[in-house]
Amino acid sequence: MSLVPVTLAGRSYDILIEGGLIARAGDLIRPVLGPRRLVVLTDETVAHHHLVPLEASLAAADYRFDTVVVPPGEQAKDLHRFPDLAERLLGLGLERGTAFVALGGGVVGDLTGFAAATLLRGMDFVQIPTTLLAQIDSSVGGKTGVNARRGKNLVGAFHQPRLVLADLDALRTLPRREWLAGYGEMVKYGLLGDAGFFDRLERDGAAILAGEAGPLGDAVAHCCRMKAEIVAEDEREAGRRALLNLGHTFGHALEAETGYGPDLLHGEAVAVGMMLAADLSRRLGLVSDGDFARIGNHLAATGLKTRIDQVPGGPFPADTLIAHMAHDKKVADGKIAFVLMRGIGDSFQRRDVPAALVRDCFLAAGAV
């Protein structure tokens, strides 16, 4: 088992990475939470694959628990649906000593974390991420939130979990698209701060996407260590943590334009967004043509989208996408924050980017 600590003053916790953790979840949770009541929150798709073994493990560890199942997809994270979920959860007779268990991907993790952060003014929760994207990114670091009409995760809170159980065996149930979406976020870690890791992904990417235990486990642990280090330094995104948004400012605009629907998964949007960020960096004279091509070639070789005109539902107007970016939660003093690169493995944040260059990037990638 790989153990990655997330070190925060008074709120430290561990990320455990190994196969078979769902079947052992009750015994692993008990030393952390003790004998308290639990509420498991999951979605219909994940419940079909993983709920029975989780419930069996909790029962074997003598936990009293309830289970709440929500529909799959980003629509479950809608701000206007959250009140109904909150009433449903409160109807179970929650107490402050009750703890939530998030069983699912990024949507379930964000939704459960937001419920834990807000209901009864704060409750404990455990993350059991079942997608590659959630295991390496969204389950770690305490970002929670729901989507508003004006943008993604605009309503949320920083609320750290008490434990993260990343069961590598859970990834076997993922469709290929979900693997690729998670891999897009994995590439992000190499681009934002570790050129050697990007080299490794070029070498081992096929093995990781095939689910080979050694390369997969090593890569998941590496991403978690990188994020844990960044979160420990900058929990609330006042500085270095903003680099984790590489590709996200562009990607969130695409997600907003496609209605957060099934046509564009978050990791797919991030992959296109990273190419747009790389192109913007190139146009600013920061990234070489060679590095730009190398990034695009690797993403495309895996089967990930790299252009806007590859996203279903287009063509998308460049001006509309720019308008979506203006509602991004990282806008300050009316200026959009862009995470740019000086090359592979060297990223930084910049706000004084000419709007015309951003529009040129959108047009070059297939916007109209």
Specify the amino acid at residue 219: A
Q: What is the CATH number of the domain that holds 136?
A: 3.40.50.1970
CA distance 43 to 46: 6
Task: Give mean pLDDT, residues 129-148.
Answer: 96
Residue 161 and residue 188 in one domain: no
Predicted confidence band of residue 177 (pLDDT cuts 50, 70, 90): very high
Query: Domain of 32?
Result: 2-173
Alpha carbon of 305 to those of 14, 177, 273, 276: distances in Å?
33, 11, 10, 12
Answer with the one of 173, 194, 213 that is the final residue of a domain: 173
pLDDT for 219-269, tens place per residue?
999 999 999 999 999 998 888 999 999 999 999 999 999 998 899 999 999
- The per-residue pLDDT for 149 is 86
**Total of domains in the chain:** 2
Residue 140 and residue 22 in one domain: yes
Predicted confidence band of residue 197 (pLDDT cuts 50, 70, 90): very high
CA distance 36 to 96: 10
Residue 328 and residue 301 in one domain: yes
3-state helix, strand, coil in the chain (%, to 5): 55, 20, 30
Task: Give mean pLDDT, residues 22-51.
Answer: 97
Residue 150 and residue 203 in one domain: no
Residue 166 and residue 210 in one domain: no
Predicted confidence band of residue 184 (pLDDT cuts 50, 70, 90): very high
Tell me the average pLDDT of the chain: 95
Residue 190 and residue 163 in one domain: no
- The per-residue pLDDT for 332 is 78
Task: Give mean pLDDT, residues 102-120.
Answer: 97
Residue 111 and residue 194 in one domain: no
Check whether 367 has a pLDDT greater than 80. Answer: yes
- The per-residue pLDDT for 194 is 97
The share of the chain scoring above pLDDT 70, in percent, equals 100
Residue 198 and residue 168 in one domain: no
Strands (DSSP E) found in 231-276: none
Predicted confidence band of residue 169 (pLDDT cuts 50, 70, 90): very high
Question: Which of 184, 186, 263 has its CA nearest to residue 218?
Answer: 186
Exposure of 242 in the CB half-sphere (CA atoms within 13 A): 19
pLDDT for 305-354, tens place per residue?
999 999 999 999 999 999 999 888 778 778 899 999 999 999 999 999 99
Answer with the one of 173, 190, 223 that is the final residue of a domain: 173
Residue 103 and residue 167 in one domain: yes
Answer with the one of 127, 144, 173 that is the final residue of a domain: 173
CB atoms within 10 A of CB 358: 22
- The per-residue pLDDT for 150 is 83
Query: C-alpha angle 317/319/323, rounded to 5°?
Result: 120
Check whether 127 has a pLDDT greater than 90. Answer: yes
33: tokens are 């939470």
Residue 229 and residue 307 in one domain: yes
Residue 250 and residue 138 in one domain: no
- The per-residue pLDDT for 152 is 87
- The per-residue pLDDT for 10 is 85
By annotation, the residues acting in catalysis are 121, 143, 185, 227, 237, 241, 245, 248, 252, 266
Whether pTM > 0.85 for this model: the answer is yes
Query: C-alpha angle 265/156/269, rounded to 5°?
Result: 20
Predicted confidence band of residue 181 (pLDDT cuts 50, 70, 90): very high
Crossing angle (nearest 10°) for helices 195-209 and 213-233: 140
Residue 195 and residue 299 in one domain: yes
Look at strands 163-167 and 151-158 and give their pairing: unpaired
CA distance 361 to 364: 5
Q: What is the CATH number of the domain that holds 282?
A: 1.20.1090.10
Q: Which helix (H) or strand (E) holds 293?
A: helix 289-302
